Structure 1
Amino acid sequence: MTAALTAPAAATATATTTAAAPDYCGGRCTDILPPGENGNATLAEILLNRMFGTRPAHTGDQLGPYAALASGYPGLTEAGLRGFFNDASFGVPADQVASTASPRPDVTIVRDKATGVPHITGTTRYGTEFGAGYAAAQDRLWVMDLFRHVGRGQLSGFAGGAAANRQLEQSFWQAAPYTEAELQQQIDALAARGGRATQALADANAYLDGINQYATEAYNGRTFPGEYDLTGHIDPITNAGSIEPFKLTDLVALASVIGALFGSGGGGELASAQVKSAAEARYGKDAGDAVWRSLREADDPEAVRTLHDGQSFPYATVPDDPQGQALPDPGSVVPERMVYDATGSANTATTTTTASTQADGILPGNLLTAKHGMSNALLVSGAHTDDGHPVAVFGPQTGYFAPQLLMLEELQGPGISARGAAFAGLSFYVQLGRGQDYAWSATSAGQDITDTYAVPLCTTDGSPVTTAANSYLWHGSCLPFDRLERKDAWSPTTADSTPAGSYTLVMYRSDYGLVTARGTVGGTPVAFTSLRSTYRHEADSIIGFQELNDPGAVHDAPSFQRAAQDINYTFNWFYADSRDIAYYNSGSNPVRAPGVDPGLPVLAQPAYEWADFDPATNTARYTPPAEHPQSVNQDYYISWNNKQAGGYTAAGFGNGSVHRANLLDDRVKALLQGGGKVSRVSLTQAMEGAAVADLRAEDVLPDLIRVLRSAPVTDPTAAAALQQLEAWLADGGQRKETSPGSHDYADATAIRVLDAWWPLLADGVMRPGLGDQLFTSLTGALQINESPSGGQSGATGGGTVSANESIPHKGSAFQYGWWSYLDKDLRSVLGDPVAGPLARPFCGGGDLMACRNVLLTTLGQAAAQTPAQVYPGDADCAAGDQWCADTIIQRPLGGVTDDKTTWQNRPTYQQVVQFSSHR
């Protein structure tokens, strides 16, 4: 299934004219990307925004329609779709042209009146890509500059030394540290491949030329983003200063950020091992192992799956007799030191993830480290739609920022014909969007492509070996670790009052990957390393994206799957045209040694290495395309970062009986029940109904009510709270306003009670059986709660519940939590059949009445909490303001801010498509 690397003739054509691109969607392709396309504000415009709330054109014009769907979806009509989504047809009607520019003779950039999206048409391949870079810089120059510094571990020196900036650059440096020479090596490796790779590098260079020409023009004309003034890079009076030109290695640094955020998986083996050790300490080896396996839910039979027709794609399975396990000695694991030679404000701790440190910076400090779900997709085959053509509603959830990390564009030129979204700084190809007669999208898959090795430490001088040693054993030789350094220094600016400081970020690297922690295994000092298959290969995916934009490369479902295979990031890819829907799971899945459990640390020995592993190039044997989950024309597909297929073992914890994807699956099943036919409207309604649903209310609250109603509830407080919860469930269990713009929730009291109750429930139901040590270890592998507000971590007399590591006001919710544990346990207590049950009962020790007492007690405690206790407030919201606590905030990446919007759990960029014909 690997596509040919030779570019078709159209890919290198230099024709002097380009005909209007064919559009087979028939006006039924729409999309949306809040807050708006324009991400450039001059210093004057930023100051006006701060003083009067005004915004440059197209800065926030997509936010209102996007937000309005939360209340408008029940009455949605086909004609009404255009009120909530943009027209994503190719081209711009003559009466809708807002501006036309030609930064060079072989490219024209037309912007439309409605959204300001750039529609780039080139008569040459070079001109097309030059125009893409020019338009990207017009709309996202500052964001691009931010993220090339994030990717190098140098955000603080560029944007200020705030605690969150330091935390963020440290987390990315830990995931993808590179020297400049190593960034260049990725480019050189691509160049050596020839064919499409050669064309891709030519495209990237043309793109860079466009970026740099705009940056030069903007600097000379003082139309550059005002953030350069505010951060001291350019003097607002004299114009002294500069915008550093962009180069190819910047694009690799940007790609490494995107890959780390959205295209990796695995790496939680130490946390899993600590759960296993704690379980065995609590229950004994065999019983503890059984408890750990049931909590891990590696291949839970009740988990919702994207491929639901019985397909099996075994990968990363849990062996019956695991080999090469390297469980750390209890209490021995110490995270690797990363910060050295700190001076000034760099001596301030930066490793916390509290709301205050997240808010104190240009980006959330835990943007990478916090577990947060991403994207969703709903597709229905033509056999089940209103007019016989497939319908798709899909898109990525990349977070909410102002300006967005993504940008919209249309690219038309030799060998390129696409419209959609692309990450700022990598927009020489559309990454998610539509072609002439097809559309595609992705969700983060997160399958296990990262392993943890326990690497024995050694010394070269014969001195005693301790965990401080900086050499390791590789195939019998004692080798020094590679030391990767990045110096970052910052000084106070008007945008960041942090005092001056500096530090050096250091990562040690072995042939088994990057050192993340140290400890002992059986008393032997080891380094725990992280080995990711895509490390040093972030640029390789450029080939697949090039193919997705090429109408000569993708023209049907099989050719789409071949293109997706050429993307090495872990994504679930979805496709729709007028005839077919299709799915393909991409990623460089390493072939592991027989008997190795990829969910636990592995001994660093040749017998347990990846097949054909070559540390010099970080390559290995990967599973062939046929073994990747894939399908064409299943009756429907849904995905919300859930399990892909039977046997395809999830990385980490959290894929059990209750998952956020159930909200989509249940609704699409309901649409198809009894031979129902799906339309663009009804599938959009299914998506949005799930977007405002509370997963806990819909899928766990019925179990809780059954336990509580197993006997009369006589306590007045608990009885009143229970009645309110039942009324909310009868009303749909959704978090929705009483009326559009009211800023008050219907069923507000019930919502508050459940928010307060969930962490108390998890503690009351699970801690007595788990014990403190296992309870705490389990929270390290899977957080208890992910509410819309990012709060309600809770505490009880039994101890503090582990902090919910979610980003406030981020929209995405209910991806990670102990939903399945409580669901399975309560159903077992009630005597229901449970496939893949927990290995032992927890609630009340399995006794119904004792369990009921736990629920009653914790419900009473939750009902007694005041709104201010449940929603304590933050820099954006007053204590007790429930609606505000949930709101989505477009987190400012620059100087312009946007209004808060009501919560909805929905992709950031989203398409609604139904093609009417095909080439």
Structure 2
Amino acid sequence: MSALSRHPLLWRLAVWVCLPIAIACWFGYAQLRQSLPQAGDRSVAKGLAADVHITRDAHGVPHISASSDMDAYFAMGYLHAQDRLWQLELARRVAQGRLAEVLGQQALSSDIWMRTLDVYGAAERAWPALAPDAKRSLQAYADGINARLDEGATLPPEFLLLGVTPTRWTPIDSLAWFKVFSLNQSNGMRAEADRYLAHKFLPERQWALLERSYPANAPTTLALDRPMQALSDLSRHLERTLGLGGPYVGSNAWVLAGRLTRDGAPLLANDPHMSLQMPSAWYVADLSAPGFAVSGMSVVGLPIIVFGRNRHIAWGGTNMMADTQDLYALETHPERPNVYRMNGQWHAMTVRQEEIAVRADFPASLRAPRAPVRVQLRSTRFGPVVSDATGLIDQPISLRWSGLDDGDTSYQGIFRLAYARNWADFNAALGQVVTPAINVVYADDAGNIGYVAAGRIPLRGTGDGSMPTPAADSTSGWRGYVPFDEMPRALNPTSGVIVSANNKVVDDRYPYFISRDWAPPARAERINSMIADALQRNGKIDMEQTRLMQADTVDLEALALRDYLVAHVSTEVASSAAVRDLARWDGRMDTDQRSATVFNFWLRHLRKRLLLDRIDGEQGAADQIQALRGYVGGVTPVQIRQLLQSGDPAWCGGNGKSATGCAGTLQAALDDALRELRKYGGDPSDWAWGTLHRARFNHVPFGDVNLLDRLFARRLPSPGSENSVNVAGSLYRPMKGYEQNFGAVFRQIMVMGRGGGEHAYMNSTGQSGNPMSPHFDDMLEPFAHAQLYALKQPDTTAGAMRQTLHRAGSASEARP
């Protein structure tokens, strides 16, 4: 008897169900593959002055050869649309506040926030201030994106899954995304909200030890608990869902004089730290035209190389951590809520009404449409009333941010870096930057190195803006900005070394206030130490040594606290295997390190026992703890050591809950940590840091959708910590371990020299945003191991792919 006769139902199932499904899947896959660039593509594009030739190397990195810089920007737009079309669509909708149209209710808070700030309106108001060439670059880029759309190519899978059709790109879309990019690096609002809540809920002695002094301009009578909590929560929600903002947005950058390098030419290294996402926000490109050549990292949505090099200079940047955002507490009229008091007089707010379209929940085609959400958006002379975005209107809070100023020329400043030939040109370009406030390191082919602090730093009438300010008096407002020629800068320091790692930029002799929210100095100290050690051992430093520095995972803050912990636990505890191993630990947060895991679990429980468990409050204690989580998460290991060393009973049993003192608190926190670790495995060999610390590269919107997350998102073991050079900002998830959601998003090293020098890079994910592409995630593993690729014109025999963009109407258009 044949198999068909023995199992007729199975055969029918295979023929009539499984086979059609397999054919449909194959057909769908083949169709989606058509959305990828094809070898030998010859496209006809309106708007080009001449044909553009593109060669992609084996990693998908394009090398653009054009007849003019504007044609090169056109090609950049075309390539961004070809490789990252969904990312472009997402960026535009985020900036416009139109994400809920396609993602539904989950994106509504983001839309309300962007419309409250009026990010898109600020971009429109920036356009008239730009010079003609900057405007032309944005228009050329938009034309390139639209040329790709006009081809009618198969759309990436996100569009098909959501039923979305992309619309034409405009120059304002790019300017608006630049605003969001700047907003992402401006954390003043969240820092103010968290600081206010900590002062409100922590006992006074504990607060005094953490912050040392109470800012003179901070309110003492206004009840801001609810709006500050709501703004803090909103900030964290945007960080978690869209990767916007966060305490770890920073970077490392350093530059060495040629006398310290093996090549005898300046060496510049850079690795920005942002939200981990799939794909990376960055895109590697090399653009050239007669008299124009620039290469490095572009932000998808912009035509320019943000950090990179041209034939004469190289530049890299870090977040200055400057406070460019202030919150103002408004006093409103008891009967007219849209009127506020200032200088003893009542002033009307500017009020506008907008509708936000909200898509029905999935599957939208089977559900009734949602009614548009109407929102009232208010603003004052201080700025938008941001508390409205949280739904709280009883205590309105306005936000002043430099990025909302009219006439913002920040894009133009970064645009001009590609044309800079020397230190003077470099300074002239950065003098036009309003936001973000960034540290920019510099090297040139004449052997110079330098540093400039760019961006506008506010001059405040009263106080330093580190806490919410009462708005009743106009003298509390801003009265201008620090003059650019008085901003911090350096050229050819005698040390031959400049290091920037979000650490304090200037000492207290500097006459202007910049920030209270510097990153701990650990990364900068470690970089300086590694440079000094390398010079002592080898005499000179090269690219390979620099690459290893970028990969370094030693956490100096952890070592400082570790020394105190192991010295102050009981003899019995000190003899345990975990503590003995910790005492020998060298501070490396490598993936195979068990002591790194023990330390981080101990630290988390110590923070809880020292800070969260110290709150006195029978009523509403849970709300207080929730309000403090953000602030407590930012208390560094060195601060905790200082608290313990203070001997203040407020920390260790001083609230009546315990009389064991700090040694007992340390031991109890360690017991908590080890008890929790045993849930992951009884054998300490199961506690390797890479097992319980994994990087998550999220995708919007499918990173949180079961099954689809396997196609669109990525996870892998990750080294590093918040304070290592190879940085890793992580959140603990019970029974899942630490999930890294912030870290380095690209690395590059550039060596200058009159012969052209060298340029090495690695993106954090891949060049493509299309999961059908082999370049969607082909840089993930190399990046995790701190490998670098050379950025140079590819050998066409080594996996390179050629494309040509033909000018419409050219003779070459007719060729097959």
TM-score of the aligned structures, taking structure 1 as reference length = 0.66
Out of 385, 400, 416, the residue aligned to residue 515 of structure 1 is 385
CA distance change for structure 1 residues 262 and 611 in 2, over 3 Å: closer, same or farther? closer
Q: Is 2:630 the partner of 1:783?
A: yes
Counterpart position of 2:15: none
Q: More helix per residue: 1 or 2?
A: 2
CA distance change for structure 1 residues 862 and 606 in 2, over 3 Å: closer, same or farther? closer
Q: How does 1:56-71 map to 2 (within 5 A)?
A: none
SS at match of 2:716: coil
Give the deviation of 1:694 after TM superposition.
4.6
Q: Is 2:339 the partner of 1:480?
A: no
Out of 232, 253, 256, the residue aligned to residue 176 of structure 2 is 253
Give the percent of matched residue pairs that are identical in Structure 1 and Structure 2.
20
Counterpart position of 2:128: 188
Give the deviation of 1:149 after TM superposition.
0.3
Q: How does 1:625-704 map to 2 (within 5 A)?
A: 625-634=484-493, 635=495, 636-647=497-508, 651=515, 653=517, 655=519, 659-673=522-536, 676-689=539-552, 692-694=553-555, 697-704=558-565
Counterpart position of 2:98: 154
Bigger mean CA offset, 204-213 vs 889-898: 889-898
CA distance in 2, matches of 1:99, 1:441: 34
Give the deviation of 1:393 after TM superposition.
1.8
Check conservation: 2:88, 2:300, Cα contact below 8 A.
Answer: yes
Counterpart position of 2:470: 603
Counterpart position of 1:857: 668
SS at match of 2:163: coil
Amino acid at match of 2:182: G
Q: How does 1:78-227 map to 2 (within 5 A)?
A: 103=45, 104=48, 106-158=50-102, 160-161=103-104, 163=106, 165-174=107-116, 176-178=117-119, 183-190=123-130, 197-217=131-151, 219=152, 222-227=153-158
Check conservation: 2:196, 2:228, Cα contact below 8 A.
Answer: no
Counterpart position of 2:323: 448
SS at match of 1:452: strand
CA distance change for structure 1 residues 55 and 736 in 2, over 3 Å: closer, same or farther? farther
CA distance in 1, matches of 2:362, 2:285: 34
Counterpart position of 2:799: none
CA distance change for structure 1 residues 701 and 655 in 2, over 3 Å: closer, same or farther? same
Give the deviation of 1:687 after TM superposition.
1.9
Counterpart position of 1:903: 718
CA distance change for structure 1 residues 780 and 913 in 2, over 3 Å: closer, same or farther? farther
Check conservation: 1:769, 1:842, Cα contact below 8 A.
Answer: yes
CA distance change for structure 1 residues 599 and 140 in 2, over 3 Å: closer, same or farther? same
Q: How does 1:578-589 map to 2 (within 5 A)?
A: 578=445, 579-589=447-457
Cα deviation, 1:224-269, whole Å, max 9, x if unaligned, reads 3232221112xxxxxxxx4311123322321221111125645633
Counterpart position of 1:821: 639
Give the deviation of 1:209 after TM superposition.
1.3
CA distance in 2, matches of 1:385, 1:297: 42
CA distance in 2, matches of 1:179, 1:243: 18
SS at match of 2:250: coil
Q: How does 1:823-842 map to 2 (within 5 A)?
A: 823-828=641-646, 842=651
Q: How does 1:390-429 map to 2 (within 5 A)?
A: 390-413=266-289, 416-426=292-302, 428-429=303-304
Q: Is 2:431 the partner of 1:573?
A: no
Check conservation: 1:156, 1:166, Cα contact below 8 A.
Answer: yes
Bigger mean CA offset, 573-582 vs 137-146: 573-582
Counterpart position of 2:458: 590
SS at match of 2:425: helix
Counterpart position of 1:272: 195
Counterpart position of 1:311: none
Give the deviation of 1:477 after TM superposition.
3.3
CA distance in 1, matches of 2:375, 2:640: 42
CA distance in 1, matches of 2:696, 2:35: 20
CA distance change for structure 1 residues 50 and 264 in 2, over 3 Å: closer, same or farther? farther
Check conservation: 1:448, 1:598, Cα contact below 8 A.
Answer: yes
Counterpart position of 1:705: 566
Q: How does 1:497-508 map to 2 (within 5 A)?
A: 501=370, 502-508=372-378
Out of 427, 443, 448, the residue aligned to residue 561 of structure 1 is 427
CA distance in 2, matches of 1:601, 1:248: 35
SS at match of 2:430: helix
TM-score of the aligned structures, taking structure 2 as reference length = 0.73
Give the deviation of 1:413 after TM superposition.
3.1
Out of 206, 227, 244, the residue aligned to residue 368 of structure 1 is 244
CA distance in 1, matches of 2:408, 2:73: 18
Cα deviation, 1:647-699, whole Å, max 9, x if unaligned, reads 3756455645x64444434333433458943222222212211xx34555333
Amino acid at match of 1:734: R
CA distance in 2, matches of 1:698, 1:557: 40
CA distance in 1, matches of 2:199, 2:167: 50
Check conservation: 1:263, 1:445, Cα contact below 8 A.
Answer: no
CA distance in 1, matches of 2:567, 2:40: 60
Q: Which runs of 5+ in 2 are unaligned?
A: 1-21, 703-707, 720-726, 728-742, 757-816
Out of 749, 756, 779, the residue aligned to residue 601 of structure 2 is 756
Give me the CA root mean square deviation: 4.2
SS at match of 1:892: coil
SS at match of 1:677: coil
Check conservation: 1:132, 1:210, Cα contact below 8 A.
Answer: yes
Cα deviation, 1:500-544, whole Å, max 9, x if unaligned, reads 5353344321111122339xxxxx975221111221458521211
Give the deviation of 1:144 after TM superposition.
0.7
Q: How does 1:262-411 map to 2 (within 5 A)?
A: 262-263=185-186, 265=188, 268-278=191-201, 282-283=203-204, 292=207, 294-296=209-211, 322=216, 325-330=218-223, 333-334=226-227, 364-365=240-241, 367-368=243-244, 370-411=246-287
Q: Is 2:676 the partner of 1:735?
A: no
Q: Is 2:545 the partner of 1:545?
A: no
Give the deviation of 1:607 after TM superposition.
4.5
Cα deviation, 1:826-877, whole Å, max 9, x if unaligned, reads 4555xxxxxxxxx997456699983222212221221122454699xxxxxx
SS at match of 1:861: helix
Amino acid at match of 1:557: W
CA distance in 1, matches of 2:745, 2:162: 28
Cα deviation, 1:101-147, whole Å, max 9, x if unaligned, reads 67445141312332222222322344233222222211222211111
CA distance in 2, matches of 1:228, 1:139: 14
SS at match of 1:116: coil
Check conservation: 1:131, 1:210, Cα contact below 8 A.
Answer: yes
Out of 560, 565, 583, the residue aligned to residue 726 of structure 1 is 583
Cα deviation, 1:407-453, whole Å, max 9, x if unaligned, reads 12222236642111111111x21111111132111112230111122
The number of residue pairs the alignment matches comes to 681
Amino acid at match of 1:367: G
Q: Which runs of 5+ in 1 are unaligned?
A: 1-43, 60-96, 191-196, 234-241, 299-317, 339-349, 519-523, 613-620, 738-744, 785-801, 805-815, 830-838, 872-878
CA distance change for structure 1 residues 150 and 534 in 2, over 3 Å: closer, same or farther? same
